[in-house]
Amino acid sequence: MEWVRGKEIGRGSFATIYAAKPKNPSSQLPPLMAVKSAETYCSASVETEKRILDQIGSCPQIIRCFGDDRTVEDGEKFYNLMLEYATGGTLADELKRNGGRLAEADVRRHTNSVLKGLGFVHAKGFVHCDLKLQNVLVFDNGVAKIADFGLAKKAGETEQKAEVRGTPLYMAPESVNDNEYESSADCWALGCLVAEMASGKPVWDHSPGANIFKLLIRIGGDELPQIPEDLCEEGKDFLGKCFVKDPKSAGRLRCF
């Protein structure tokens, strides 16, 4: 599997994403793809992503994986994961292109895509654990696809240690209080994502660099996230289901 690394198009905590193309145009690889590369000493989450994508299988609302390999570049060892190239970037990019928030029709369309993708992930017995605007990719046909499965886990799998999964602004109360990450936590994160698409603001009023522990106390307490006032009644009802505090309540899982 030979390919040529292009320009950097994204960067995460442990990996950098590049545009790439195959050396042989007649290969089974697409003419343009995204390659997520991490130095091997910190590539565990990227390797987890490959393993989970293989187990989940194909779904139109989930990023496609074309394979992986290892390279040595300038004396450094890298693990590389070949993925679909999203021409529209992330949902966060789409919000920026549209003045900071999306029209309700676009919110509805992307929500339906993410719901289908999450439903498929959960049916396969996995939990994403890090659903957010930056982890949903947008393609030129308007389809949104869930990406970045590096923190995903098997449903029902007990955490061996107190390990934070995900992004605090999207974390569910049970994840904060009890280190619990199951499908209901993805439903809560979906609500945060939908509200942010509609309003252009996170559901929690939290400035970058502010005390993260104060935010976690609010999430784990009795306070509920802010639901955009100008959202239609159907949208408010949907978010009300996502933001049920009790993860075992049928209310939250009814968002599907």
104-123 and 183-199 helices cross at what angle (nearest 10)? 170
Cβ atoms of 251 and 241 within 8 Å: the answer is yes
Beta bridge partners of 17: 10, 36
Domain ranges across the chain: 3-84, 91-253
Alpha helices in 98-182 (DSSP H): 104-123, 173-178
Cβ atoms of 129 and 152 within 8 Å: the answer is yes
Q: In Å, how far from its chain's centre is CA 254?
A: 20
Residue 157 clears pLDDT 80, i.e. is over it: yes
Q: Cα–Cα distance between 193 and 111 in angstroms, integer?
A: 9
Give the pLDDT score at 2.
Answer: 86
Identify the top-confidence range among 13-17, 120-124, 230-234.
120-124
Give the pLDDT score at 254.
Answer: 63
Among candidate residues 68, 130, 148, 186, the one labeled active-site is: 130
Instruction: Tell me the average pLDDT across 219-239.
Output: 92
Greater model confidence, 254 or 135: 135
Instruction: Note the pLDDT tens digit of each residue in 22-37.
Output: 988 767 788 999 999 9
Give the pLDDT score at 251.
Answer: 64
Instruction: Note the pLDDT tens digit of each residue in 66-117.
Output: 999 999 999 999 999 999 999 999 999 999 999 999 999 999 999 999 999 9
Per CATH, domain 3-84 is 3.40.50.2020 = no
Closest CA to 69 of 55, 83, 57: 83
DSSP class of residue 229 equals T
CATH of 91-253, picked from 1.10.3470.10, 1.10.510.10, 2.40.110.10, 3.30.470.20, is 1.10.510.10
Strand, coil or helix: what is 8?
strand
- The token duo for 203 is 């559901």
Q: Cα–Cα distance between 222 and 205 in angstroms, integer?
A: 15
- Reduced DSSP (H G I as helix, E B as strand, rest coil) percent helix, strand, coil of the chain, to 5: 35, 20, 40
Domains 3-84 and 91-253 share a fold: no
- The yes-or-no answer on residue 74 being catalytic is no
- The token duo for 187 is 């439903």
Give the pLDDT score at 250.
Answer: 66
Alpha helices in the chain (DSSP H): 44-56, 91-97, 104-123, 173-178, 183-199, 212-220, 233-242, 250-253
Residues 6+ away with beta carbon under 8 Å from 21: 3, 4, 6, 31, 32, 33
Instruction: Note the pLDDT tens digit of each residue in 41-55.
Output: 999 999 999 999 999
H or E stretch at 213 = helix 212-220
- The token duo for 120 is 């498929």
Give the pLDDT score at 249.
Answer: 74
Instruction: Tell me the average pLDDT across 179-192.
Output: 95
Cβ atoms of 17 and 36 within 8 Å: the answer is yes
Q: Cα–Cα distance between 46 and 103 in angstroms, integer?
A: 34
Lowest mean pLDDT among 48-57, 123-132, 155-164, 196-205: 155-164
Q: Cα–Cα distance between 106 and 200 in angstroms, integer?
A: 13
Beta bridge partners of 5: 20
The chain-wide mean pLDDT, for the chain, equals 91
Give the pLDDT score at 25.
Answer: 76
Known binding positions for ATP: 36
Greater model confidence, 39 or 26: 39
Give the pLDDT score at 72.
Answer: 94
Q: Check the CA dihedral 86-24-68-123 and report its sign.
A: positive
